[in-house]
Amino acid sequence: MSSNKKYWKSVEELKESSSIVETHSQKEFVEEIPTDEFLGNKETLESSTTSRRDFLKYVGFSTAAASLAACEGPVMKSIPYVVQPERIVPGVANYYATTMADGFDFSSVLVKTREGRPIKIEQNTMGTTGANARVHASVLSLYDNKRLQRPLANGEVVSWEQFDREVKEKLNNVNGEIVLLTQTFASPSTSKLISEFSQKYGNVRHVVYDTVSEDAALEAFQARYGRRALPSYDFAKAEVIVSIGADFLGDWAGGGYDAAYAKGRIPKNGKMSRHVQFESNFTLSGANADRRVTLTLSQQKAALAALHGYVTGGASTSNLPAHIDDALVKAARQLRKAGSGAVVVTGIPDVDAQALALSINEALGSGVMNTASPRMLRQGNAAAVKQLVADMQAGQVGAILIAGVNPAYSLPFADEFAKGMANVDLKVSFSMKNDETALLSDYVAATPHYLESWGDVEFTTQKFGLMQPTIRPLFDTSQFQDVLLRWTDNNISYADYLKQTWEGAMGAGSWIDALHDGVFEGTSPFTTEVGADQTATSVSFDENAAVRNLSAAQGEGLELELYTSVALGSGNQANNPWLQELPDPITRASWDNYLKISKADAEELGLENEHVSNGALNGSYVNLKVGDAVLERVPVFIQPGQAKGVVSLALGYGKKEGVQKEMQVGVNAYPLYQDFNAHQKVVIEKAAGVHEFACLQLHTTLMGRNDIIKETTLEIFNTKDSHVWNNMPEVSLNHVETPVTSPDVDLWDGFDRSVGHHFKMSIDLNACTGCGACVIACHAENNVPVVGKEEVRKYRDMHWLRIDRYYSSEETFEQDIEKKENMSGLGDSLSQFGEMEIASDNPQVVFQPMLCQHCNHAPCETVCPVAATMHGRQGQNQMIYNRCVGTRYCANNCPYKVRRFNWFLYNKNDEFDYNMNNDLGRMVLNPDVTVRSRGVMEKCSFCIQRTQKTILDAKREGRAIEDGEFQTACSSACDKGAIVFGDVNDESSKIAALSEDDRMYHALEYVGTKPNVMYQTKVRNTSEA
C-alpha cells in the first residue's frame, strides 16, 4: 500500500499551485547562473587566450611529454679526482695494516680499502690475537649514522679552536683534582702523553676503567709477579687444558686464544689436545670441550681448590658431588701426566682463585702459560674507579676527562656516578657517540673511529701493534691524544709524537716496516704503568688460606653469572646491525639478551619457552633482584647444559643513548654487575608477559643422524679403519650394495672436471669453535643485507653462511645413534623419536658451518624454470640475480636449506632502516658485488669475485697460481684454519690433500648431490687416562 505521506521542504510547497514552487521545480539552481553574461559576451570570449579546449590540450600534451621525457635514461656523472693520490687506482683495492683497540677488543687487522674507503677487515696473520666477529664488524661502526660529527660545548656545536680554548682555560683554573677516566689503551705513547699532561697541570689522577673487569686476575698476577698484567697463553702447545669457568674461546682475559687452541685440536699423528671444562653457563669453550662438567658458581671455587690439591698432591678433601670430584681427580691425573703441556685456566672473579690457578700452572711447570711476556690488554682498576666515584660525590674532583668508556651506562653504580658528575665543575667526554656519559658532560669531544686514528698497542710486553688511519676522517673529529697534545701546548700531531716516542725502541725494524706489517717486536719506550700502585705490593700469597677460602664457598639459592656475548661483547658496538643480527653460537638467538636458565630451574619457577604457530620462539619474563638492584622484564631462554642453580645474562645490551631505535634491544645487565663481580646471588620472580625471540634454530638435536655430522673418538680414530667411523652410504642396485658415489646409481651424468680450476672447500669440525667471524666476514664481503628482528623471527634471515649448532639428546652423540639404531617397531620410534627431540641436560655440542654446498649434481639447478642457477666449470653453483624471477623452487629443492630469498627490498627502504638505508652506511658496500633487489634468490657464491680476481692477477702477471692464493671471505676470516678453500686440480694443494683425507665426508652424502663442500669428521679426545 502506498502511503500518502507527503514530504515537504517548506510550507510553500503545501499550498496548491504556488507560483514559487512552480518556478523552482523547473530550475536546478535557485540563483541565476551568469552563463549568458559570459558566453553571450562574444568579445570577452574571443579575446580570452585560453579556452577550455586549449586547457585540456595543454594538460594532455604536458602529461604526454612528461611521460615521454621520463623514458630517457638517467644521466650519470663521472667525476675524477682533480689531483689523484698516487697510490689510489680506481677499482683496485689497497690494504693497510692497523690495530683495533676499543678497550675491549684488541686485534691486529688488515683493512681493505677501495677508492680510499675501508670496506672490509681481514686477518693480519702476523698478529698475535686474531680478529673475532666484532672486529670484523667494526668496519661498519665507522659508518655509523649515530656518530658525533662535531665537538659539542653544552650541547651546542662549536669549533675545535673554541673547544680547546674554553676547556684549557677551565683546566688552568680548576678547583680540585683533574681526573682522566679512560679505557685500557695499552698504548705506551698515550701513557707517556698522559704523564706529560700530569706534569703540566699537576694534581692529575689517571683511572683506567675496564667495562668488563679482569681485576681479580690482574691483582693475582701483580701480587705474584709484580706487574699489573695478565699471563699470556699459547694453547697450541697445550696437551691437556682444564678450564674452571673460563671461556677462553670467548672474551676471557682479552680473548683471541681460539686460533692457537684450534691448532692443537686437529688430530696429528694420532694426537690432539684434551680439553675438560668445568662451567655453569654454557660457553663456546664448554661447547668445544671433550668433557664438560656443569657445576654451580660456588662449586667452581671448591673445584679449583680441590684440583689444586689433586695436582700438587697435598691432602685433599672435597665436599663436591661424586661425579664432579671424579672428573677433577681424572683431570688432575691427566694434567700431571702432561707436565709442561698442561694448563689450568679459571674465570672465577676472585683473587684467591686466580692466584691458585697461577700456582697450579707453576706447580705443573706449564709451558703453555707465559708470565715473562704477559698480556697488557686489561689494566682497569676496580678499586680506583670506586674510589673515584666516591671522591666525585664528595666534591673533590674539579675536572674529569672521560675517554673511550661510557660509565653512565656501564657502571653498576651509574646513578651514583651521575650524582658525582653533578659535583664536578668541568666534565669532558671523548666519545664517538652522544651516549649516556656524553649527555652528562659539558664538553663532548667527537673522536674518530680507530680506522681514522693513529696509535700503538702493547699486546704483550714484547709484541706491539701500530694503528694508522685508513681513511680521511669522515667528520670534524679529533682523537683523544691529539687533543691532549694541544692542551699540553705541544704543537706536533699525535702521528709525529707516536713516531718520536718509538724512535730507537722498535728493535730491528724501521718505522715504515712496522707500519707496513702493523705489528713489531720491541720494548716499550715508556714503562711506567698507569693506574697501578707504583709500589708494587709483594704480598706473600698464602696458598693454604686461599684454598681454605675457596673450599668454604657456599652457594645458597640461585646464582647469576654475567657474561659477554659473542655478538656484542661489552656493548661498544651496540649500534652495529651486523652484530645485532649475528645469532649467538649457542642459543642461536639474535637481537636480544636473555636470562639463560636450566630446564629444571625453569620448571620449578614455572617459566616457559614455547614454539608458536609460525615456528618462532616465545618465552616468559622474569624480574631479577641482585642486592638492591632490580632488573625488570628479562626474557628467559631455557638452555640445555646450563648448570642447575645458575642463571646467566649477557652484558652489553639495553643501551639507549647514541643507539638507533631498532637496535635498542635487550636489557642492561650492568646494574647487576655489582662490585665488578660477574658472579652474583640472585632472586628471580616470574613477570607477566611473553617475549618474542628471534631464534634461528629451534630444532636442536641431531636425532642420531650421522649423515649430517660424523664424529668419533680419538681412540677409534687411531685404532679402527676409516670405514668404521666414516662409512660411505650404500644403495641397492640389482640387489648389490653400491656406494652412492658410484656413477651407476647416479641420476645425472657426470662432467669432466679435471681441466682448469675446480674449487672445493673443506670445513674441519674439529677446528671450528663456532666463533661467527666467518658469518660477519661473509656479510661484509657479499653485501648481505640486515633484515631486522621481526623478519629473523620469520626465518627470513639472509645469512649466506650460518653455523648450525646441534645438541645430543643423550649424553653423547654416540648414544643417540645407538638409541636410534636399537629402535624397533612403530611404537618404539613414535615414543623414542619424540624423546630424541629434547636435548640432554648436559649435551655434547657440535658446530657445523653450513653454506651452499655447490653440489656438482645440484637439485636446485634442475628445477629452475628460467635457468637462473646453473653450474660453472670451476665447481661453483652459480646464481644469476638478473635472470631470477623468484619462483623459489630452488630453495624448496635444496636439501641443505642454504638459499635465501629477498622478500623485500632491503636497501634504500625505510622499512629496513639499517646500514643500507643511509649514504654513510652504504659506503661499506663491496663495489664488486651486486646489491640484490626484491624478489630474487641469493646464496653463497664461493666468493667468485675473489677467485676471479686471483685468476686475473695471475693472468696479468703471467704466472701460475700458488696454493693458498684462492680464498673466500670465510676461509680468510677463519684464523683457526677450520675453513680451507682451494683448487682441487692443483695436486700439491692443501685442499687436494684434504679431499683425500680419511676424515673427509659430505653432508647428506646419500642424497647423491656430490657437494664441493667437504667436512672433516669431528674427533673427540675422550681418553680419561
Residues that bind other proteins (CB under 8 A): 73, 75-84, 89-92, 752, 754-756, 870, 872-874, 876, 878-883, 928-931, 941, 944-945, 948, 951-952, 954-956, 958-961
Q: How far apart are CA 291 and CA 149, in angstroms?
A: 50
DSSP string computed for 534-546: SS---PPP-HHHH
* Residue 870: CB minimum distance to other proteins, A: 6
* Residue 757: CB minimum distance to other proteins, A: 8
Q: Closer to other proteins at the Cβ: 643 or 851?
A: 851
Q: Closer to other proteins at the Cβ: 509 or 886?
A: 886
* Residue 465: CB minimum distance to other proteins, A: 30
* Residue 528: CB minimum distance to other proteins, A: 45
Give SS3 for 995. helix
Residue 317, phi then psi, degrees to nearest 5: -130, 125
Q: Are 907 and 922 in contact (CB under 8 A)?
A: yes
Q: Look up cell 700502585; give the residue.
A: 533
Q: How far apart are CA 323 and CA 330, in angstroms?
A: 11
Residues, the chain, total? 1025
Give SS3 for 1020. strand
Phi-psi sector, 171: left (phi>0), alpha (psi -120 to 50), beta = alpha
* Residue 851: CB minimum distance to other proteins, A: 15
Q: Look up cell 627502504; give the residue.
A: 909
Q: Closer to other proteins at the Cβ: 123 or 876?
A: 876
Q: Closer to other proteins at the Cβ: 140 or 936?
A: 936
Q: Closer to other proteins at the Cβ: 598 or 945?
A: 945
Give SS3 for 26. coil
Q: How far apart are CA 99 and CA 94, in angstroms?
A: 16
* Residue 953: CB minimum distance to other proteins, A: 9
CA-based nearest residue to 135, from 118, 123, 125, 146: 123
Q: Closer to other proteins at the Cβ: 757 or 1018?
A: 757
Q: Which three cell numbers stand for residue 41?
A: 559576451
* Residue 73: CB minimum distance to other proteins, A: 7
Q: Closer to other proteins at the Cβ: 46 or 957?
A: 957
Q: Are 1017 and 712 in contact (CB under 8 A)?
A: yes
Q: Look up cell 623471527; give the residue.
A: 793
* Residue 87: CB minimum distance to other proteins, A: 12
Q: Closer to other proteins at the Cβ: 60 or 85?
A: 85
* Residue 788: CB minimum distance to other proteins, A: 24
Q: Are 384 and 207 in contact (CB under 8 A)?
A: yes
> Max CA-CA distance within the chain?
128
Q: Are 467 and 98 in contact (CB under 8 A)?
A: yes
Give SS3 for 512. helix
Q: Closer to other proteins at the Cβ: 5 or 956?
A: 956
Q: How far apart are CA 294 and CA 793, in angstroms?
A: 30
Q: Closer to other proteins at the Cβ: 183 or 985?
A: 985
Residue 753, phi then psi, degrees to nearest 5: -110, 25
Residue 322, phi then psi, degrees to nearest 5: -55, -40
Q: How far apart are CA 842 and CA 291, in angstroms?
A: 10
Q: Closer to other proteins at the Cβ: 150 or 922?
A: 922
* Residue 421: CB minimum distance to other proteins, A: 45
Q: How far apart are CA 799 and CA 786, in angstroms?
A: 9
* Residue 928: CB minimum distance to other proteins, A: 7
Q: Closer to other proteins at the Cβ: 89 or 390?
A: 89
* Residue 948: CB minimum distance to other proteins, A: 7
Q: How far apart are CA 640 and CA 287, in angstroms?
A: 11
Q: Closer to other proteins at the Cβ: 91 or 504?
A: 91
* Residue 863: CB minimum distance to other proteins, A: 17
Antiparallel, parallel or unpaired: β 609-611 and 617-626? antiparallel
Q: Which three cell numbers stand for residue 941?
A: 657464491
CA-based nearest residue to 879, from 926, 945, 940: 940
Which H or E run includes 279? strand 274-279
Q: Which amino acid is at 346?
A: T
* Residue 883: CB minimum distance to other proteins, A: 7
Q: Are 287 and 805 in contact (CB under 8 A)?
A: yes
Q: Closer to other proteins at the Cβ: 758 or 1018?
A: 758
For residue 39, the tally of other CB atoms under 10 A from its CB is 10
Q: Which three cell numbers stand for residue 764?
A: 674441519
Antiparallel, parallel or unpaired: β 426-431 and 443-446? parallel
Q: Closer to other proteins at the Cβ: 499 or 753?
A: 753
| Rounded alpha-carbon distances, angstroms, from residue 26 to 393, 511, 1024 | 91, 102, 110
Q: Closer to other proteins at the Cβ: 156 or 957?
A: 957
Q: Which three cell numbers stand for residue 939?
A: 646464496
* Residue 419: CB minimum distance to other proteins, A: 52
* Residue 873: CB minimum distance to other proteins, A: 5
Give SS3 for 207. strand
Q: Establish how many alpha carbons lie within 13 A of residue 973's alpha carbon, considering only the half-sphere containing its beta carbon.
A: 26
Exposed / middle / buried, residue 957 (Cβ in 10 Å: 0-12, 13-18, 19+): exposed
* Residue 985: CB minimum distance to other proteins, A: 9
* Residue 864: CB minimum distance to other proteins, A: 12
| Positive/negative CA dihedral, 160, 166, 171, 172 | positive
Q: Closer to other proteins at the Cβ: 77 or 735?
A: 77
Q: Which amino acid is at 1007?
A: V
Q: Closer to other proteins at the Cβ: 965 or 1024?
A: 965
Residue 610, phi then psi, degrees to nearest 5: -135, 150
Q: Look up cell 681418553; give the residue.
A: 1023
